[in-house]
Chain A
Amino acid sequence: MGDMANEIKLLTGNSHPSLAKSVADRLGIEIAKTMSLNYSNQETSVTVGESVRDEDVFILQSTAPNNINDGLMELLIMIHACRTASARRITAVIPNFPYARQDKKDKSRAPISAKLIANMLQTAGCNHVITMDLHASQIQGFFNVPVDNLYAEPSVLRWIRENYPDQDIVIVSPDAGGAKRATSIADRLDRGFALIHKERPRPNVVGRMVLVGDVKDKVAILVDDMADTCGTLAKAAQTVKENGAAEVVAIVTHGILSGDAVNIINNSCLSKVVVTNTVPLGDKQERCKKLNVIDVSPTIAEAIRRTHNGESVSFLFHHAPAV
């Protein structure tokens, strides 16, 4: 193709270079030359080192825990930079959508921050969004531009099939909100399902838990969309174990693992915690031997390729590309 315009340009910020690298490798392209750094007054500066005029720009930016706002501003500035540099189309690839949990006005005068982020992305000049396992799929409705919400489910299913081919497993949802996600996996595997009902007095604090369903002498697989402080997960694992499960494994899409999460996992009765690489894990894998990682870069790369070529993305909702 050579110098022809409208090719895929993959840009990335500083949040998750390794994911960007594997997506670029998968697409067989180089990551575009940009650099983002901080001024001494902690403002973010983005330098663009190559032309994006009339190109199909994809900006991959995950958000690292405790760096959420910096990562977000970096992404917004990059989008805006590409827009002012006459890119043909700008797609924000945000594997873990920030502020996804602040998606409703649950108290008086509480902000709907997810909506604000959606507005900000569009204001910056984003024409399309690719994300994965949104906390609530209704967030897609906050946008006036197309949003492709990819699923980690096919990759998760493959991991379960490869690692627990014959065992007697049961899929457990750690809260009522995740029941749909868990039942879908249970159905596709043709296995049993259980649910934990929990009372949550305050955010990041876990109350009493009640298990509904049979887990006795089975491998219980807890399935959720994100694990943040892991308090819920550890408590749920405890509840499942107390109900007689032989082994407890947790599979979550977004392993945010903020705060004391690594210690909580290490001290919990979970035998494995499986996360995808949507969130940069840093040194957490060294600090936590129970942590397993599923690579979702093939799914993201394939979504980028299909979006660029104008092909349907829905195939990826049920199939994970071969690794």
Chain B
Amino acid sequence: MVRNIVILGGNSHPKLVESICNSLGLPIGDRTLSSFSVGETRCEIKDSVRGKDVYIIQSGGGKVNDHFMDLCIMISACKTGSAKRVTAVLPLFPYSRQPDLPYNKTGAPLSKQPSTVPGSPMPYTFESVPATPAPGIPMSAGLANGMDGLSKRLNRAQVSANNIHSPAAVAMPSANGPHEMNGGDTYFKRTDSSLTLGSSRTPGAFTTHDYDKMAHFTSFQGKPGYKQWVAQAGTLVADLLTCSGADHIITLDLHDPQYQGFFDIPVDNLYGRPLLKRYIQQNIPNFKDAVVVSPDAGGAKRATAIADSLNMEFALIHKERRPTKITDRQNATMMLVGNVANRVCVLVDDLADTSNTITRAAKLLKKEGATMVYALLTHGVLSGDAISRINASAIDKIVVTNSVPQEEHKKMCPKLEVLDVSPAFAEAIRRVHHGESISVLFQFD
């Protein structure tokens, strides 16, 4: 039993809050957190927090801005309620990935513009660039003709692509039945024919709140001679948490380790590596012969750390962002460094959002002769039609942690396996509360 401590949860991930509290043997702090009719957050902390050590658990998935404001308001409420110390526990840190690319480059995680003119449905291909969803808006380039046709087409594509190496047959997912995504029938409707990777380079691949003025945004261009840039919210989010009154931050696998430097308060960045490592050791047969693959250069360090500690071989995929000529060998823009022929591959990354990167990486690996592709990720945000892409992709098994809710994803994706991070967070909270060192949690050997 831990004393003088209050654990509060936001609305983003109640399951995780529950299991962290179970691990600590504590009840969940009582609070009201809802919204007024106008949409403003309404919060009230029911339990006394005077002189207490307060931990507020809120993840960054789902409606990010609402959840973030909820968190700030809860922190502020505890502070004005005379809490001794408030620690924000953010399993997935919002705005931690800061793309600096303008919206219209391939690879930027922005979405396609929802088309307004209905037209003939387009087939869904590997090269389809994922769309950005927003509540209640049809924007997906989704699966116009369902999963059946797709699997067949993919199988065919797979065979023709892999006939040289003739790897083991790719296990294709069975049809999942109708997709239960919001947006109803409009979700899968597709209109313009510019769905392939190449055409996504044309301006207009994005969504906005202002659907009336789509034309204005489609033609968005900076002033002549001015290089447009995307605002990076990282420091801002750090400052906002501090100004709300957070005294301490606990998070998991920050996308950039430098992010810790944005804060003037202590940040404990836990690692998902021990979990991923244990999974490799326990669930991948003959893992010593497998190859750890980083899907992009940015994650090379993360992947090599795992490869080194397990004495595994390492390969890297280099993503070229320069516009190249579109040919049938689209993967020319992705180059594999290392040998994966006739081996099991383990893709390791920190975050999969639209999962464009890992599905393309998996395709390349299969093409280069990999027998089986695992994808191990700390944060499975899996927004947009990520699940459909993964189901249709060459990935055989995708493993994520429950840093964001995975129940819905799991229902839709038979390849998905979820690791539980709550013990790590519970232990971190316990140690931080007692003033013990948490560096033992960083050692994963």
Q: How far is the CA of A124 from the CA of B240 in the complex (A)?
A: 8
Chain B residues with CB below 8 A from A37, complex form: 103, 110, 132, 206-209, 217
B247 to A: closest C-beta gap in Å: 15
**B229-243, CB < 8 A from A:** 229-233, 235-236, 239-240, 242-243
State the Cβ distance, B241 to closest chain A Cβ, in Å: 10
Question: Beyond A45-B230, A47-B229, A72-B65, is A109–B81 a contact (Cβ under 8 Å)?
Answer: yes
Query: Contacts A37-B110, A69-B41, A259-B37; is A43 near B240 (CB within 8 Å)?
Result: no
**Chain A contacts of B95 at CB under 8 A?**
43
Whether, in the assembled complex, A17 has its beta carbon less than 8 Å from a beta carbon of chain B, the answer is yes
Q: Is the interface of B mostly helix, strand, loop or mixed?
A: loop
Contact pick for A40, options B49, B133, B226, CB 8 Å: B133
Stretch of A60-68, A193-201, A287-295 with 4 or more beta carbons under 8 angstroms from chain B: A60-68
Contacts of B208 in A (CB 8 A): 14, 35-38
Write out the residue numbers on chain B whose beta carbons fall within 8 Å of the beta carbon of A119: 243-244
A123 (CB) vs chain B CBs: closest residue: B243
Stretch at the interface among A100-108, A179-187, A236-244, A270-278: A100-108
Does B69 belong to the interface (CB within 8 Å)? Answer: yes
Per-residue CB contact flags for chain A residues 30-47 toward chain B (1 = under 8 Å, else 0) read 000101111111111111
Report the bound CA distance from A48 to B221 in whole Å: 10
Q: Is the CB of B209 within 8 A of A14?
A: yes
Nearest-CB residue, chain B, relative to A76: B236
Is the pair B236, A204 in contact by a Cβ cutoff of 8 Å? no
Nearest-CB distance from B114 to chain A (Å)?
12
Give Cα distance in the complex from A108 to B38, angstroms.
23
Q: Which of A110-118, A158-166, A206-214, A307-315 contacts B (4 or more CB under 8 A)?
A: A110-118
B64 touching A80, Cβ below 8 Å: no
Query: How many whole Å from A114's CB to the nearest CB in chain B?
Result: 10
- What is the CB-to-nearest-CB distance from B291 to chain A, in angstroms, rounded to a whole number? 29
Among candidates B68, B132, B228, B239, residue contacting A39 with C-beta atoms closer than 8 Å: B132
Q: Kindly list chain A residues whose C-beta atoms are within 8 Å of the C-beta of B62.
A: 42
Are A111 and B43 in contact, with the CB atoms below 8 A? Answer: yes
B417 at the interface (CB under 8 A from A): no
Contact of A108 among B81, B206, B226 (CB under 8 A): B81
* Nearest B-chain residue to A66, judged by Cβ: B39
**A113 & B243 in contact (Cβ 8 Å cutoff):** no
Q: In angstroms, how far is the closest chain B Cβ from the Cβ of A85?
A: 8
Assuming the contacts A17-B210, A66-B38, A102-B40, asked whether A40 and B132 have C-beta atoms less than 8 A apart, the reply is yes
CA distance A186 to B361 in the complex (A): 71
Interface membership of chain B positions 53-91, coded 1 if the CB is closer than 8 angstroms to chain A and 0 otherwise: 000000001111110110011101110110000000000
| A285 interface residue per 8 A CB criterion | no
Contact A124 to B239, CB < 8 A, known contacts A42-B64, A72-B69, A110-B44: yes
CB <8 Å contact, A67 and B36: no
Chain A residues positioned under 8 Å from B236 (CB to CB): 76-77, 80, 123-124
Q: Mark B89-101, 1 if CB is under 8 A from A, else 0.
A: 0000011000100
Contact B353 A40 (CB under 8 A): yes
| Most A Cβ at <10 Å: residue of B38, B95, B102, B233 | B38
Q: A42-B134, A49-B228, A68-B40 are in contact. Are A33 and B221 (CB under 8 A)?
A: yes
Q: Does B329 contact A (CB under 8 A)?
A: no
In the complex formed, the residue of B with least CB distance to A111 is: B77
Instruction: Provide the bound-state CA to CA distance between A115 and B243, in Å.
Output: 11
Interface: B325 (CB within 8 A): no
Instruction: Annotate A265-283 by CB proximity to B: 1 below 8 A, 0 otherwise.
Output: 0000000000000000000
Q: Which of A75-107 contact B (CB under 8 A)?
A: 76-78, 80-81, 84, 98-99, 101-102, 105, 107
A80-B78 contact, Cβ under 8 Å, with A47-B103, A116-B72, A258-B37: no
Residues in chain B near residue A78, CB distance under 8 A: 231
Whether B209 pairs with A70 at a CB distance below 8 angstroms is: yes
A73 adjacent to chain B (CB < 8 Å): yes
Q: Please tell me which one of the listed residues A40, A41, A112 contacts residue B80 in the complex, with CB atoms under 8 A apart.
A: A112
Chain B, 198-230, CB within 8 A of any chain A CB = 206-210, 212-213, 217, 220-223, 226, 228-230
**3 interchain residue pairs of minimum CB distance:** A81-B231, A111-B77, A49-B222
B residues whose Cβ falls under 8 Å from a Cβ of A: 36-46, 48-49, 61-66, 68-69, 72-74, 76-78, 80-81, 94-95, 99, 102-103, 109-111, 130-134, 206-210, 212-213, 217, 220-223, 226, 228-233, 235-236, 239-240, 242-244, 353-354, 381, 383-384
Known contacts A40-B384, A69-B68; 11 additional CB pairs below 8 A are: A14-B209, A33-B223, A35-B208, A39-B109, A42-B383, A48-B230, A69-B39, A69-B41, A73-B69, A113-B40, A258-B36
**What would 30 A/B residue contacts be, using CB atoms closer than 8 Å?**
A14-B208, A17-B212, A17-B213, A33-B222, A35-B217, A36-B208, A36-B209, A37-B103, A38-B209, A44-B65, A44-B233, A45-B110, A47-B230, A49-B220, A50-B222, A65-B37, A67-B209, A72-B65, A76-B236, A98-B40, A107-B44, A109-B48, A111-B43, A116-B72, A119-B243, A120-B72, A123-B236, A123-B243, A124-B236, A256-B38
